[in-house]
Amino acid sequence: MRIREATTTEGRRISFDVDNHYYTPLCDKSLVFDGFFRDHKFCVCYTKICNDSGYREETRFGTPTLVHYDNGLVAYQNMNFFNDKKEAEEDFKNRKKLTPKLGVYAYADVFLVENN
């Protein structure tokens, strides 16, 4: 795990934990298209950041009990793959304008990747 600092789509600085499979605008672009997506030409990547907290059930002295947990901010990286450049650029333009909704803390790291 490592800490990633980024700017949200609303212009705020934010930091969150990511694992080794997190792609950034400066990463090796061929990694994004590895596996099933080699035939695609474009990819729009964006990150949804949420606050992971809630309640889980634990057993204490044989009795089920709800226990509160708070893991802080977690990031979910999403990728949309396209073959048409115009369609990919339109999706990229729209993703850069995302604003948080209920359950989402912020959006960050929106970038367009072209498969060479």
Domain count, the chain: 1
Please tell me the distance from the alpha carbon of residue 31 to that of residue 38, in angstroms, as a whole number: 10
Question: Can you say whether the dihedral through the CA atoms of 27, 40, 75, 59 is positive or negative?
Answer: negative
> Using one digit for the tens of pLDDT, what is the confidence trace for 69-89?
998 888 889 999 999 999 999
Please tell me the distance from the alpha carbon of residue 59 to that of residue 94, in angstroms, as a whole number: 46
Give first-to-last CA distance, the chain, whole Å.
30
| Domain range enclosing 75 | 2-114
H-run or E-run covering 95 = helix 85-95
> Using one digit for the tens of pLDDT, what is the confidence trace for 27-73?
777 777 777 777 888 999 999 999 889 999 999 999 999 999 998 88
Please tell me the distance from the alpha carbon of residue 74 to that of residue 39, in angstroms, as a whole number: 30
pTM to 2 decimals? 0.81
